[in-house]
Chains A and B, each alone.
Chain A
């Protein structure tokens, strides 16, 4: 039998309600992966560089954030040999073409629009889970 190891997930999100949404969705979907939270790109970089924090395999990234937005953060992640292979999923309210193009140019694994309802949010997170389960095999 294959032994799977739960991958670490980093959520980069400034909106407290969205952080709770993800935590609730994890709990509802019985997702037990360790979840680390950073409130913006600067905090996320600090976490990635912290030797006491395990390296995430997945990043869930908001775009519109203070201090350093998601695209600026992603650009720095892709330029860094240590982080450039982390799978990144954008989860944002931005439906702007420019944000989508920038994100895909920076090799994101998916671009998810934050849905209005929690029920739809649950199904978005469930889809994400299907992806990272593949990383755990």
Chain B
């Protein structure tokens, strides 16, 4: 029995090492040729200065955009791999203040209105504040980024229960079609074409991993055409 446990432990450690090596390869070794492609394309563009062939200019712009996207995707992979390892300090934050700061950070256009319903007894909590901030920021940013109307309304609800804070982020955007709802937490999946909204499609995957880490739950509640609501619970006490 003990031998079997030891064997499993060794296998687990070997897998962990393999995983860390994989992440290292993605973050360092693969980035190097990627940067080379980006740089060499800039040199060629530079050497072609004065050339007004619109097709060449447009193609260069396309290529640079794709290289930048590939870099963003690799950065997202690295970030995802580090969720369980980095920024694990717990410190005291005010939940309403944190939510409002995230809303301000995620707001890139002036046509966004936030509507709050905050029903909590204890505003301050000692928690994995950086992780909570990441989840809130990603969900609010998504609500704004994928909105399809001129005026954007975001409804944020926070309710305190005995064991957790229950968050709901709702928007009045296009909603998420039933057929793709199972896929939205998959890494690099995007509902609309990446050319329409420049995004890596990793934000929700990272949110889900963080919420799982703290022992909470996250779910999508959406009807197509009637906006999107993401609900997640964040335990008051987090034991890692």
Contacts and interface: CB of A to CB of B under 8 A. Distances in A.
21 contacts: A15-B32, A15-B36, A17-B36, A17-B40, A20-B43, A21-B39, A24-B43, A64-B28, A93-B31, A93-B32, A93-B35, A114-B35, A116-B34, A116-B35, A116-B67, A117-B39, A117-B64, A118-B38, A118-B39, A119-B42, A121-B39
Given A15-B32, A64-B28, A93-B35, A116 B40 contact: no
A17 B39 contact: yes
Interface in B4-54: 27-28, 31-32, 34-36, 38-40, 42-43, 46
B43 A118 contact: yes
Interface string B46-86: 10000000000000000010011001000000000000000
A124 interface: no
Contacts of B27: 95
B137 to A, nearest CB: 20
B73 to A, nearest CB: 13
A55 to B, nearest CB: 30
Contacts of B43: 20, 24, 118
Contacts of B36: 15, 17
A120 to B, nearest CB: 10
Interface in A67-92: none
A41 to B, nearest CB: 18
B42 A117 contact: yes
Interface residues of B, number: 17
Nearest to B27: A95
Interface of B: 27-28, 31-32, 34-36, 38-40, 42-43, 46, 64, 67-68, 71
A94 interface: yes
A132 to B, nearest CB: 23
Contacts of A17: 35-36, 39-40
Contacts of B32: 15, 93
Given A15-B32, A18-B39, A116-B68, 5 more contacts: A17-B35, A64-B28, A93-B32, A117-B39, A118-B46
Give the residue among A17, A24, A121 with the most B Cβ atoms within 10 A.
A17
A122 to B, nearest CB: 9
A114 B71 CA distance: 13
Nearest to B34: A116
Contacts of B28: 64, 93-94
Contacts of A95: 27
A93 B31 CA distance: 8
A15 B28 CA distance: 13
Contacts of B64: 117
A117 B39 CA distance: 6
B204 to A, nearest CB: 24
A116 B36 CA distance: 8
Contacts of A24: 43
A117 B36 CA distance: 9
Nearest to A93: B31
